[in-house]
Chains A and B, each alone.
Chain A
Amino acid sequence: VAEWSLLTNHARVLLCIAHDPGVRLRDIAARVGVTERTAYGIITDLTEAGYVVKQKDGRRNRYQIQAHLPLRRPLPMPDSRGLAAVGEVLALLTGVSVSVGAAGLSARDEGPVARWPTAASQEQAMTDAPSMADKYVLVTGGTGGIGKATAAALGARVGITGRDQGRAAAAAADIRAATANHAVDIFAAGMSAQAEVRRLAAQVLAPTRGWRC
């Protein structure tokens, strides 16, 4: 086996930036043990992938790490916490949590980022977006996570699908309670079976329920 390391040079460069967002290229190169040219190439990779945003600060560069982005190869977190973000790995290695960009989140600290929409935010969304009043929205996997939050946020007549009838009913009750939107249909369907997908489509298309033009 050739010489190898648990951390790639890209990770080491990112660590340098996490320690000092104003770090100079020369110092990055020295700390990582590569040439300045290589360090520059790595920064370019990180910038192009969106992990680092470069800003001019006088004659220096300042780097902002987009800590919420997932690792390039998805790494599941233990205890049902989804996939690991760059910030979580950096936090482990630096002992401090890395500040994130405006759109980012600190998955560890803040818990689910998808919060129930408030009446005010819903009203705002309504005035900004075209009317959803006569639309039907079908959200597959709508019993939890992103799907449930999406179904709740849209404020339209909505149908959610879930593998388990009980979970789907509970999610629908949550959405009705949280948003005062009572037009929530549930469809029990295990989407990995094609017969169930076809049955779902037939139910949604049935004239007595579901989709309206």
Chain B
Amino acid sequence: VLVNDAGGFWVRRHVAADGLEHTFALNHLAPFLLTNLLLDRLTASAPARIVTVSSGAHAQGRLDFNDLQGERNYSGQQAYSQSKLANVLFTYQLTRRPEGTGVTATAARPGVVATSFGAEDMRRTWAS
């Protein structure tokens, strides 16, 4: 069972280790890469599950293929919604690929849960 839960929301644009925008790198590329790296083992372990924690925000998401990393225009909300839409689309595709293998793929929408999610940029933002 793989639960892709790690994710984040940043009000300001940050660049991650690979030179990629942080939201896109962490929320979409990381689960995409990890799932693909572990897919053979998951298939061998069937019945198995891949659960990716998305968000209701995916409904406002728009994949801007001309500016996937918000280089021209960054908005935390747009970047977050886009990454969560990518989670859902990735999951849709996953459900097609491992068909008949006993590996299910699910995107979850947890609703609003009181965690420290999105806190990293918050103190500065709300203080200013």
**Which residues of A are in contact with B by a Cβ distance under 8 Å?**
68-70, 72-74, 76-85, 103-105, 107, 110-114, 130, 132, 135-142, 144-147, 150-151, 154, 156, 161, 190-198, 200-201, 204-205, 211-213
A-B contacts, CB under 8 A, total: 167
Question: For residues 55 through 81 of chain B, which have their beta carbon under 8 Å from a beta carbon of chain A?
Answer: 55-57, 59-60, 76-77, 80-81
In the assembled complex, the CB of A199 is this many whole angstroms from the nearest CB of chain B, namely 10
Number of interface residues of B (CB under 8 A): 51
**Residue contact A78 to B122, C-beta cutoff 8 Å:** yes
In the assembled complex, the CB of A209 is this many whole angstroms from the nearest CB of chain B, namely 13
**With A140-B34, A200-B34 as contacts: A150 and B5 at CB distance below 8 Å:** yes
**Residue contact A80 to B110, C-beta cutoff 8 Å:** no
A6 to B27, CA, bound (A): 31
Tell me the dominant secondary structure on chain A's binding face: loop
> B25 at interface (Cβ–Cβ under 8 A)?
yes
Pairs A–B under 8 Å by Cβ, sample size 21:
A68-B112, A69-B112, A72-B60, A74-B60, A74-B81, A76-B122, A80-B116, A80-B122, A82-B112, A105-B113, A107-B112, A114-B113, A138-B1, A141-B5, A142-B3, A142-B5, A150-B5, A156-B1, A192-B17, A200-B34, A204-B38
Question: From A143, which residue of chain B is reached at the shortest CB distance?
Answer: B6
A193 to B18, CA, bound (A): 6
**Residue contact A192 to B22, C-beta cutoff 8 Å:** yes
**Residue contact B117 to A194, C-beta cutoff 8 Å:** no
**Residue contact A191 to B26, C-beta cutoff 8 Å:** yes
**Residue contact B53 to A146, C-beta cutoff 8 Å:** yes
A32 to B119, CA, bound (A): 35
Tell me the dominant secondary structure on chain B's binding face: mixed
Query: B26: which A residues are within 8 A, CB to CB?
Result: 191-192
**Residue contact B38 to A201, C-beta cutoff 8 Å:** yes
**Residue with the greatest number of chain B CB neighbours at <10 A, chosen from A104, A156, A213:** A213
Which of these, A82, A110, A139, A190, contacts B115 with CB under 8 Å? A82
**Residue contact B113 to A112, C-beta cutoff 8 Å:** yes
